[in-house]
Amino acid sequence: SSTFLALPPHTSIPTFDMSSAAMFISKLRSVSQRATITSHPSVMRRKTLVLSRNLASEERPKKIQRPKRIILIRHGESLGNVDESAYVSTPDWKVPLTEAGQQQAIQAGKQLKKLVGDEQIFMYYSPYERTKETMDAVCKHLNKDRIISIREEPRISEQQFGNFQNVDEVVQAKQERHSFGRFYYRFKSGEAGLDVYSRVSSFISTLVRDCQQSKSWIRP
């Protein structure tokens, strides 16, 4: 005999022969618990071949394009790293590199070139001034023809500690964070570690999607 599946509205599943039924039952349960099985031989003759093709394509796993490696580069030494009072009068995102930080960025570019050689690169950077300066210094040592794309990505910015910051208040807040829990403590007008985790996690899916799409951009 043949098998016909009666499915709820908005479900488009072709009919199939009895030998295919066992393979499809588990999938039906995920579509709807109301699926039923009844005999319907006349429909089977017209639809079996189509279903077999559909089953074959559904059963075949899709190959996911993944990056060969992910390299994280922290910005070079910034003015805020050597003088926390810089945050009192300068917004965090505008704090620049020091001269030492510029040299560190240059060295990072040289080391990255040795590591990746002539491989293609897809680059993301946060919109902070010190990060842009670091990226510019690094890119001077790379083959620009091998850079697929360079994108500004706010979700990978560092944790927000507030707007114009009072140094004493930030020190006190960091002490409170130690006793409260680093991951959950939220700075006034800023973020908790949980907030950073959430936005960076959402970026990961973008990275994977860009990697998939980059297959059509790759140059020999």
* Closest to 13 (Cα-Cα) out of 36, 63, 41: 36
Strand partners, 17: 2
Q: Which helix (H) or strand (E) holds 132?
A: helix 129-139
Helix axes 99-116, 129-139, angle to 10 degrees: 50
- Strands (E) in 35-168, as ranges, are 36-38, 121-125, 147-152
Q: CB-hemisphere CA count at 13 Å for 180?
A: 14
Q: Which residue has the tokens 């959430």?
A: 198
Our answer to whether residue 58 is catalytic in this structure is: no
Place of tokens 């199939």: 16
Identify the active-site residue in 40, 141, 153, 158.
Answer: 158
Nearest Cα to Cα of residue 96 among 59, 128, 74, 51: 128
Q: Is 158 a catalytic residue?
A: yes
Q: Which among 58, 75, 84, 119 is annotated as catalytic? A: 75
> Which positions are catalytic?
75, 158
